[in-house]
Amino acid sequence: MVTGTALEAELLELAGSVPDPELPVLTLRELGVLRAVHLHDTDTVEVDLTPTYTGCPAIETMSVDIERVLRAHGMREVTVRTVLSPAWSTDDITPEGREKLREFGIAPPRTRRAADPVPLTLGPTRTRTTTTTTATNATAATDPAMDAGTSASPPPTSGTEPVRCPHCGSADTELLSRFSSTACKALRRCLGCREPFDHFKEL
């Protein structure tokens, strides 16, 4: 195996520049799914790729696109290997990737510590501040349109970062659907600017 060469670094950069098929605003490097490139000979390369979740339908397209790019660069044999350990996490998305998601109108996933468990929230769907909640509760008392299904929920517990609207930056948002255009995203709405938006769920 040839390791640590300039060519290997170049191939890693090329493979990392491939856009994600489901979120083409991000590259595979920015998404954090490209793990390594191993050059076994001058024209034989193996690429380690970790899916965002087991059974991700995009992994096949990613592999084909990587093979196409590296073959065009002179690689005769390209093998894309699916690596499941360590598992991919939304913490693997680069800062550049998070900013691109925000600019594209998608709320990026909140950062969590690696040792933290993956949260499973079954309670309130809104992320609101105490002041906003109090004001909304007062409005709900006089506005019959705000029934139990749309009334404000208690503010998030201390240490829980709210999901901010990528359009106006407000933390006053609500969950509309736990699944959006893809399984990794949820559909939310901003209660400030009233715009709906996708939220890249934490994993």
Residues 148-158 have pLDDT tens digits of 333 333 333 33
With 0-12 CB in 10 A as exposed, 13-18 as middle and 19+ as buried, what is 52?
buried
Q: How confident is the model at residue 41 (pLDDT cuts 50, 70, 90)?
A: confident
142: Cβ contacts below 8 Å, ≥ 6 apart: none
Sheet holding 106-107, edge to edge: 106-107, 196-200, 185-190, 173-177, 126-127
Please give the pLDDT value at position 95.
97
Q: Which of 19-33, 39-53, 107-121 has the lowest mean pLDDT?
A: 107-121
**pLDDT at site 56:** 87
Least confidently predicted of 5-9, 17-21, 113-117, 162-166: 113-117
- pLDDT (average), residues 175-200: 94
Given a cut of 90, whether residue 115 has pLDDT beyond it is no
- Cα 68 to Cα 114: distance, rounded to the nearest angstrom: 34
What pLDDT score does 134 carry? Answer: 39
CB 191 within 8 A of CB 201: no
What average pLDDT does range 44-52 have in this prediction?
Answer: 96
16 or 3: which leads in pLDDT: 16
Question: Using an 8 Å Cβ cutoff, are 23 and 36 in contact?
Answer: no
Report which of 56, 1, 55, 62 is spatially closest to residue 28, judged by C-alpha positions. 62
pLDDT for residue 18 is more than 80: yes
Q: What is the model's pLDDT at position 119?
A: 55
Backbone angles phi, psi at 48, to 5 degrees: -95, 125
Where residue 15 falls among pLDDT bands split at 50, 70, 90? Answer: very high
Please give the structure tokens belonging to residue 55.
Answer: 């059974």
Q: What are the tens digits of pLDDT across the range 119-148?
A: 555 555 555 544 444 344 444 334 433 333
Ordered structural domains, the chain, with CATH = 6-88 (3.30.300.130), 95-112+122-200 (no CATH)
User: Residue 57: what pLDDT?
Assistant: 87
Q: Residue 59's pLDDT is what?
A: 94
Q: Does the pLDDT of residue 87 top 50, yes or no? A: yes
When the pLDDT of each residue in the chain is averaged and rounded to a whole number, the result is: 82
β-strands 196-200, 106-107 pairing:
parallel
Is 0.85 surpassed by the pTM of this model? no
- Stretch 87-105: mean pLDDT: 96
Q: How far apart are the first and last CA of the chain?
A: 34
